[in-house]
Amino acid sequence: MKSWQCDLVPVLPGNGLPLRLFDTATREIRPTAPGKTATMYVCGITPYDATHIGHAATYVAFDVLQRCWRDSGHDVKYVQNVTDIDDPLLERAVALGEDWRTIAERETEVFREDMSALNVIPPADYIGAVEAIPSVADHVGRLQELGAVYSVENDLYFSVHSDPQFGSITQLSEAQMVAEFAERGGDPERAGKRHPLDCLVWQAARPNEPAWDTHVGYGRPGWHIECVAIALDYLGMPIDVQGGGSDLAFPHHEMGASEAQVLRSSWPYARHYVHTGMVAWQGHKMSKSRGNLVFVSHLRRDGVDPLAIRLALLAHHYRKDWAWTQEGLSAAVERLARWRAATAVSSGPSAAPLLARVRELLSDDMQTPTALDAIDHWVSEASSNGGSDMGAPSQVAKLCDGLLGVRLA
C-alpha cells in the first residue's frame, strides 16, 4: 500500500545515547535495539474514522522513538498495517450505505495526509490486511500443520495454550483475560471452543460479507494473525519493538505473540512491548465506537498548525493516560510561536548543552515533557539575555526537528 511523505530528518552533531524504554512484559525500563538495524512494528488504524488525536498521540510517540534510534546511529526498519477489513468497517459501511472499500480508502488517505502534516516518518512497508490475505492464509495453514488450530463450524481457532508463554506479556489473571477478551472483540462464550481464550485466525464467509478463497477456506482473516503475518514477512523475529496503544496489550499483542512463537518455535516475538497511554476527551477514552473524537483533519481545516498539535501531544509522557483540552492546544500554539521567534535570529546561547540534555531525557524512556521544558528554558534565556553563539538558534531548530519532529523553519 502507498505510504506517505515526510521531510528529510536532520542529522545532528555527535551521537544520541542508547535508547532505554519501558517494556510491558518485564515491567522495567531496559535498553532497546542491540543490532545496527532496529526493527519496529506499530499496529495501524482500522480505517473507518481517521485520524483522531488518540491515534496521532500513539504514532507521534513511536515517531520520536524512531528519531531517537536514528540519532543513536541505528538504521530503522519500520512496518505498519492497515486493518482494512474487519467487523467495525463492515458495520460502518452498512450504516453509511457505502462500500467498505470506499470508506477504507478514503479514511486511509486522510490518515496519510495527517501523518505527513504531523511530520511522522512513514513506515518502510505500509501493508493492508486485504493485500496480506495470501500470507495470512499461509500462516494459518502452517499453524494447522503444527496442530495449533481447530475448527468450530467452519471458523478456525488458535489454541492459545499451544504457546507455553501465553499470558507472559500482560500477566493478567484468567478472569481478567476473559473479561478483556470479551470487551475487545473476542468471543470467550462461544460454544464449541476448546478454551474460552482461543482466538479466531480465520473466519468463514458470512452472508453478505466479503470473503476470499484460500487454501484454508473461503472467508477472511482474524485480527491478531493479520499483524503477525505482516510482521513476520517484513521484519522477521524477534522484532525490537512491537508497539501500539495500551488497549492493544491484551488480547491483541498477547495473542499475536503466541501465534508467532508457535509458528517460529522460538521466543520472544518482540524484545520490547511498548504501549502508549490512552487519550481521553469528554471524560472517556477517545474512541471510534463511543464517537467522542477530535480529528486531526478538522483541527487542520480550522487553521491549527499541525506542528502545534504535535507539540500539544509531546507535552504528555507517552505512557500516561491524559485528556485532550483546548487549553493544552492553545499553550502549544504559543510555545511553537516562542520557539520559532527565538530560533529565527542569528545568535543565542550555546546549543550544545541543550542537545546533550534533550538526548539524555529522551534516551530515558522518552521524557518528552521535560525535554520541552529544557527547550523552553533555552528559549527564555535567548529571549531575555540574547547570546553570542552564532548559529546556535539554527542548531536548536535542527534539534527540535531531528529529535522531536517539530519543524520550526
Q: How many Cα atoms are found within 13 Å in the side-chain-facing hemisphere of 241?
A: 32
DSSP class of residue 248 equals G
Closest CB to ligand 5CA among residues 74, 285: 285
- Interaction partner, residue 242 (ligand 5CA, Zn ion, none; CB < 5-8 Å by kind): none
In the complex, minimum distance from the CB of residue 114 to ligand 5CA, in angstroms, rounded to a whole number = 12
* 199 lies in the site for Zn ion, by CB under 5 A: no
Of 25, 76, 227, 361, the one binding Zn ion (CB under 5 A) is 227
Closest CB to ligand 5CA among residues 16, 128: 128
* Number of chain positions touching ligand 5CA (CB under 6 A): 21
Considering only residues 68 to 97 of the shown chain, the ones binding ligand 5CA according to CB under 6 A are 81, 83
Three-state DSSP at 364 gives strand
* 235 lies in the site for Zn ion, by CB under 5 A: no
Closest CB to ligand 5CA among residues 41, 339: 41
Of 12, 130, 286, 294, the one binding ligand 5CA (CB under 6 A) is 286
Closest CB to ligand 5CA among residues 206, 320: 320
Q: How many Cα atoms are found within 13 Å in the side-chain-facing hemisphere of 129?
A: 30
Cα→Cα distances 375→29, 205, 343, 354, 378, Å: 24, 55, 11, 7, 5
Q: What x-and-dash track marks residues 223-262 binding ligand 5CA by CB under 6 A?
A: ----x----------------xx-xx--------------
107: left (phi over 0), alpha (psi -120 to 50) or beta: alpha
Residue type, 250: F
Of 60, 278, 294, 397, the one binding ligand 5CA (CB under 6 A) is 278
What is the H or E stretch that residue 397 is in?
Answer: helix 392-404
Cα distance between residue 173 and residue 271, in whole Å: 23
* 314 lies in the site for ligand 5CA, by CB under 6 A: no
Closest CB to Zn ion among residues 181, 281: 181
Residues 6+ apart with CB under 8 A from 108: 1, 45, 47, 50, 82, 84, 128
C-alpha angle 65/104/182, rounded to 5°?
A: 75
* Nine cell digits for residue 273: 512491548
* Nine cell digits for residue 306: 499541525
217: left (phi over 0), alpha (psi -120 to 50) or beta: left
Instruction: Give Cα 184 distance to the centre of its chain.
Output: 18
The closest of 296, 314, 318 to 305, measured between CA atoms, is 296
In the complex, minimum distance from the CB of residue 81 to Zn ion, in angstroms, rounded to a whole number = 6
Q: What x-and-dash track marks residues 8-47 binding ligand 5CA by CB under 6 A?
A: -----------------------------------xxxx-
Cα distance between residue 15 and residue 3, in whole Å: 29
Of 43, 230, 309, 355, the one binding Zn ion (CB under 5 A) is 43
Closest CB to Zn ion among residues 230, 374: 230
Closest CB to Zn ion among residues 227, 362: 227
Residues that bind ligand 5CA (CB under 6 A): 43-46, 54-55, 57-58, 81, 83, 227, 244-245, 247-248, 276, 278-279, 285-287
Residues that bind Zn ion (CB under 5 A): 43, 227
